[in-house]
Structure formats: structure tokens, C-alpha cells
Amino acid sequence: MPRRPAPTIRPLAPSAPRRRHDATGGADLSRRLAAVRLGQGASSLHPLTDSAANAALESYDRGVKDAFDRIVPVLKRLSALQHEDDFVARAQALAQAELGFSLPLPILEKAWVSQLDMRSLFAWCVFETYEQTSDGFFRDDPLQGQPGSPAADEFNAFLLSCGFHLLDATPCADGRLAHAIAFALRLPFSSVRRRPHAGALFDVENTVNRWVKTEHRRYREGVPNPAHDDTRYLKVVLYHFSSLDPTHEGCAAHGSDDALAASCGRQRLMEFQQAVENSFCCGASVDLLLLGIDTDTDAIRVHVPGMDGSTRLDHWLDAATVYEATRHLQPEEARRRIAELATAAAASTPDPGMVRLISRLLEHNISQIDYVRQYHHGHYADAGHAERFIGVGIGFKEIHLRNLTYFAYMDTVEEGAPDMDVGVKIFKGLNVSRGLPVPVVVRFDYNGKVPGARERAVRHAQRVQEAIENRYPDLFAQGLLHALLTVRDQERHTPAEAVGSTISLTTAGGH
């Protein structure tokens, strides 16, 4: 397995051309009219909206996606140049200018023999761009949420003051929710334990293990607070639905049935709570919160729980409603009103700390509603799949952008095959149909304090690559599936490290 070179770093140009969002696409007229109504008043933002944050987030999102989306146009131009005499030099100049990195010489130098191996080149560029994105995330903290950042410290203190010592959230693994933590909920990414799963159906046994680790650290180290402090571990499920096309663009794992998505989410939450209560003595328990999100508008739904632990499936507080009810108020007045609405929406008398947290989430989400109105005409143009690569494994702390990545979280392909199959099917439509390969980034995080852990993570990634090749032999044989293997030390704030790939660069000229 040739080791890929350290990536050439080039900051993502904020002046890159803006992607056009065309609201007059293929959908039917009534939906469009609804969207226009939803978009009305987008010029006047909600008093609680943080428009500076919106601008920064939009710039980051656009910069990263543009970097991926520049690849195909550049490769098309290379294709036209490939039989010219000075092809290699011109190709490198073009790549440097447009993509910010050089291309692998072995591939360029072989072009004259037959033709440019466009499949390998495309995968190479996607992987290079992924690595730049990962590097930039850990270097520049574009979301301003890294451990020890002011935003993270402030939110951690706020969370504790609400009575929670850990926030563990499971959104659906759908790429349209990959931005849920950092954008839709506006939470510092380091303040949330994020474990996406298909259908938001998290693994109960694993979550109990994480709960044990959290409580053990409180007992042993008093981190984040001593075990005898009366705070709770909060487990959140975030299911999703589509307001514009509810029967097609909802959660695939639940057949686009949002009532089913919500009830399965609540069921899984209750199973987790019961597992903790049954397995441990001394009043061990956890708190639960069920949220939904509209993937068209990013407006959340909150199923406000009662202090007695009850959560209603048929009753929720919609952030769009909250937005409308408070848009003409002064900020402080709006905040009070949000808390009142949250209290009124509760399944029974709510816990005041829970109301404070939910009010904060709703306030954050108001910014996101305006973000979608400001930059996406009130709803996203890419209602369906438009991911740039598949992420397989455990990790991806640096991925917080909508529709950038199809996630297939798994330890082994044997367990995760159904998720992986869905991802490959999506990319057959997105890429293979255009003759381009499915780009898969394999990732396993490890604890660098544990001897041998990095080597085990590397072997783990290699084993998963082999299992992927075995599962999709035809795609792999045709060069229509490529994988980049990466590992990352989860104990340090460092980028992912590339440790291998399926791209073969065998001549002396390259890497």
C-alpha cells in the first residue's frame, strides 16, 4: 500500500465562486409556492439571529464544498489537454492554480500511452481535498468549537448549570444531518458526544459502556464534576423529516414516516435508560430528550419532556412556530417567551434546567432558520443526496457540513454492510453513472496513550478495506471504488493521518 504524501495545504479561498441555488428546479409548483411563503421576510432577520455567525458558517460550508466541486471541471480540462506535448507541466500548473495541490506524477506520466486514468485521478483529488479539509479543521478551528475555546468553555459551564454533565447526541447518519450539531443546534462540536446512526437508532450496549466511562471519570477524577453532584447524563436522539416532500425525503431507515422515526427514537432512548437503571444500583439513571429536524429548513422540533421522564410523541414545540411567535420581540423578551413556550409544551411539569437547555437550543436554531432563509431561499436546493464521499469507520470529528459525507459508522463491514450498501447505491447514482468512482474514506480513531493502539487502528482500517473490496468486487476491479485509509489520535487535536489507499502509484516519479 503506497503511503500518500503529506497534503499540500492551501486555505480555502473565501473568494471562490458562489454556488447558485436555483429555486425554480424540478419540484412542483405548490411546493415552490410554499417555499416562497416560507422565504418571505428573509431580509429581516430574527432579533436573536447571530448574522455574523451565519456569514462565517456559510463561508466555511461554501469553501469546503467548492473545493470538492472544482475537481470535475479541472479534470475535464485535463482530459482535453492530455495528448499535448507539455501535458504534465500544464496539468500541474492548472491543478495548483485551481485545486491548490499537485497531481501524482505517475498517473500524469502514463497518460500518453493510452489515456489518463481519470478514475484514479478523481479519487486522488477527492482524498487530497478531504485531507486538506481535515487539516484545516484542526488547524484553524473554523467552527470555533474546539476543546478549550471560549465557546466550548461557556457552553460546558451552561450545560452543567442546567444539571447535565454530558450531552450525548445521536442524529441520523444521513448526510443531511451531518451539520446538525455545529449548524442546526449551534453547539461547540467538542461539547457534544456525537454518535450518528442510521435512523438515529444508537447501540444500547455501546452507549451503556460510554455512560460507565463517563461516570467512572467523575468518580475517579471529578471530571467534568464529582460523581456526588446531582447532575445527569443527557442522551439526545435527533430524527428527521422533510416538510416539502414528507413521503419521499424523510428518513430512509423509517420509510419516510416521521411518526415512526419519532417513536423508534423514543423507544431506543427508553431502552437505554432502562438498561442503566436495571444494570446499576443506587438510583443510576439518565435523562432523555427527543428532537426532530426538518431537513429542508433545518427547523427543529422539541418533544419537551416532563420532570417525570414522560415524552409525548404527538406533541412538540416547532422552532418555526417559536420563530414566528418571537420575531417582533426584543431579544430578552423573546428569550422569556421561548422559555414560556417550552414550559407550556412539556409532556408534564418540566425540569427547569431542561427548559433552560431547550430554550437555548431553540434560540440557536432560530439563527439556523435564518441561515437557510438567507443563503438557501428558505429551504435547501439539494433536498436529496449530494454527498462528496462515503465515510466508513469510527471518528470523523471534523465533518460538520450538510451533504458532504454519507456516513456508514461501523467497526466491521460484516455488521455495517446494510449501511454501506445504501451508501454505495447512492454513489452509483451520483458518481458511477458518470463513470466516476465511489470515493470511500475509511477512518478509525485511536487513543494515542494506549501502546500499540495506532498500529491496531491501521490494521483495522486495512481489514475494512479488504472487506469492502470483497463486498464490491466488480466496482473495485473496474476502478470504480477507491478507498483512502486514515487514522487519528482522538486524544489530541490533530488531523486525520492517511495510512494507505487503493490508488496504485507504482513508478519512481511519484510518491
Among 280, 329, 394, 494, binds a second copy (CB under 8 A): 280
Amino acid at the residue 158: F
**Alpha-carbon torsion, ordered 311, 314, 319, 321, to 10 deg:** -140
Q: Which is nearer to a second copy, 270 or 313 (CB)?
A: 270
Q: Per rule CB under 8 A, is residue 154 in the interface with a second copy?
A: no
Q: Per rule CB under 8 A, is residue 212 in the interface with a second copy?
A: yes
β-bridge pairing 389-394 and 405-409: parallel
Distance CA 445, CA 497 (A): 10
Number of neighbouring beta carbons within 10 Å of residue 470: 10
List beta partners, residue 379.
none
Residues 5-14 as b/e (b if ≥16 CB within 10 A, e otherwise) read eebeeeebee
Build a one-symbol-per-residue string for 424-443: x at contacts with a second copy by CB under 8 A, - elsewhere: --------------------
Smallest distance from a second copy to CB 447, Å: 7
Q: Per rule CB under 8 A, is residue 215 in the interface with a second copy?
A: yes
Q: Does the active-site annotation cover 174?
A: yes
Closest CA to 465 of 498, 500, 423, 489: 500
Among 447, 478, 504, 507, binds a second copy (CB under 8 A): 447
Q: Per rule CB under 8 A, is residue 333 in the interface with a second copy?
A: no
Among 205, 230, 314, 474, binds a second copy (CB under 8 A): 205
Smallest distance from a second copy to CB 166, Å: 15
φ, ψ for residue 8, nearest 5 deg: -75, 125
In the β-sheet with 481-489, what is the strand arrangement from edge to edge?
A: 405-409, 389-394, 438-446, 481-489, 497-501
- Cis preceding-peptide flag for 142 (omega within 30 of 0): no
Distance CA 333, CA 484 (A): 51
β-bridge pairing 438-446 and 300-303: unpaired
Q: Per rule CB under 8 A, is residue 450 in the interface with a second copy?
A: yes
Among 10, 414, 429, 478, binds a second copy (CB under 8 A): 414
Distance CA 272, CA 267 (A): 9
Write down the catalytic residue from 141, 174, 351, 489.
Answer: 174
Q: What's the length of the chain?
A: 511
Per the CB < 8 A criterion, the answer to whether 495 and 139 are in contact is: yes
Among 22, 26, 434, 451, binds a second copy (CB under 8 A): 451
Q: Per rule CB under 8 A, is residue 511 in the interface with a second copy?
A: no
Among 29, 52, 97, 281, binds a second copy (CB under 8 A): 281
Smallest distance from a second copy to CB 290, Å: 17
Q: Which stretch binds a second copy (CB under 8 A): 15-23, 27-35, 271-279, 326-334?
A: 271-279
Cα torsion angle, 130, 181, 184, 429, sign? positive
Distance CA 332, CA 322 (A): 14
Q: Per rule CB under 8 A, is residue 394 in the interface with a second copy?
A: no
Q: Which stretch binds a second copy (CB under 8 A): 66-74, 133-141, 201-209, 351-359?
A: 201-209
Q: Please identify which residue in the block is written with the cell numbers 432563509.
A: 373
Distance CA 415, CA 189 (A): 27
Q: Per rule CB under 8 A, is residue 412 in the interface with a second copy?
A: yes
Could you give the 3-state DSSP secondary structure of residue 138? helix
Q: Which stretch binds a second copy (CB under 8 A): 174-182, 236-244, 280-288, 494-502?
A: 280-288
Smallest distance from a second copy to CB 13, Å: 41
86 to 145, contacts with a second copy by CB under 8 A?
Answer: none
Among 58, 69, 109, 411, binds a second copy (CB under 8 A): 411
Count of residues engaged in binding a second copy, rule: CB under 8 A: 37
Q: Which stretch binds a second copy (CB under 8 A): 18-26, 33-41, 210-218, 342-350?
A: 210-218
Binding site for a second copy (CB under 8 A): 204-205, 208-209, 212-213, 215-216, 219-221, 227, 270-271, 274-275, 278-282, 284, 411-415, 447, 449-453, 456, 463-464, 467
What residues are annotated to the active site? 174
